[in-house]
Chains A and B, each alone.
Chain A
Amino acid sequence: NAGVMQNPRHLVRRRGQEARLRCSPMKGHSHVYWYRQLPEEGLKFMVYLQKENIIDESGMPKERFSAEFPKEGPSILRIQQVVRGDSAAYFCASSPSESSYNSPLHFGNGTRLTVT
C-alpha cells in the first residue's frame, strides 16, 4: 500500500497519560501535515513539517503537544498528559516537495484518540 499510513487506528488513553500517533507519508513525499477533527467539526490545521524541520506550527496548542519528522522513520505527534478535550480524530496528510498551495493533500485514515 503506497498511501499515507497512520497507526494506531484507535487509541485509548486515561487522563494524564501520553499519546503517540505515527504517520508514514506516501512514498516520495517529504512534507507532512497534521490535522485534528473534533466531533461533528471540520478538520483544523495543526502543524506542517519537512524532514527534520517544523515549518509551521501555528495550529498547535501551546502546551502538551509536539511533533517531529525525523530523517529516518515516521512523523510522530505526541500529546502529553492527555485530557478529555484531546479526544478527536487526528489525520496526517502528505505531499511531495514540488507541490504548492493549490496541490491536493493525500490523507491517511486517521487515528481516533479517546481519553477516558
Chain B
Amino acid sequence: GDSVTQMEGPVTLSEEAFLTINCTYTATGYPSLFWYVQYPGEGLQLLLKATKADDKGSNKGFEATYRKETTSFHLEKGSVQVSDSAVYFCALSDPQSSGGAQKLVFGQGTRLTINP
C-alpha cells in the first residue's frame, strides 16, 4: 500500500538556520504530494503542495520539489524563525487508491523547535 516516511524528530535549530525535513513516499499510482503544518493545539494547515513531477511548491519561504526519480518531497527553508516551531507532516493523495477522494496518507510528523 501507499506510505510516507519522514525524517525522525525532534529537530532543534537556531533562528536563521537552514532547514531540511526529508520525506520519501511509495505509491501505487501518480500521487499528489503535500506538506501540512500543525501549530500547538491546532489542526493541520496546508503549507504547500505539488501535483506532478518536478513541480515546486512554495509558501512562507518554505519550498519542496516533487522528485519522481527519487520518490521524495523534501521540505526546505533558507532561514527559519521562532514562529516556524510546529509539527510538519508530509502527505500524499493517490488517485489509484483513493477512488477520487482526498484520502491522505500521512507521515509520522517531524516536530521542529526553533530557538532564538
Q: Which residues of A contact B (CB under 8 A)?
A: 4, 6, 31, 33, 35, 40-45, 48, 55-56, 59, 91, 93, 95, 99-105, 107-110
Contacts and interface: CB of A to CB of B under 8 A. Distances in A.
B43 A110 contact: yes
A31 B98 CA distance: 14
A77 to B, nearest CB: 15
Nearest to A106: B46
Interface of B: 4, 32, 34, 36, 41-46, 49, 51, 89, 91, 93-95, 98-109
A55 B102 contact: no
Contacts of B105: 45
A91 B102 contact: no
Contacts of B46: 104-105
A105 B45 CA distance: 8
Contacts, number: 75
Nearest to A99: B102
- Chain A CB within 10 A, most for which of B34, B99, B102, B107: B102
A27 to B, nearest CB: 17
Contacts of B32: 101-102
Given A107-B43, A109-B42, A110-B43, A42 B101 contact: no
Given A101-B95, A107-B45, A41 B109 contact: yes
Contacts of A41: 108-109
A54 B93 CA distance: 19
B101 A56 contact: yes
B109 A107 contact: no
A43 B103 contact: no
Q: Which 5 A-B pairs have the closest CB atoms?
A: A42-B106, A102-B32, A107-B43, A104-B46, A107-B44
A95 B45 contact: no
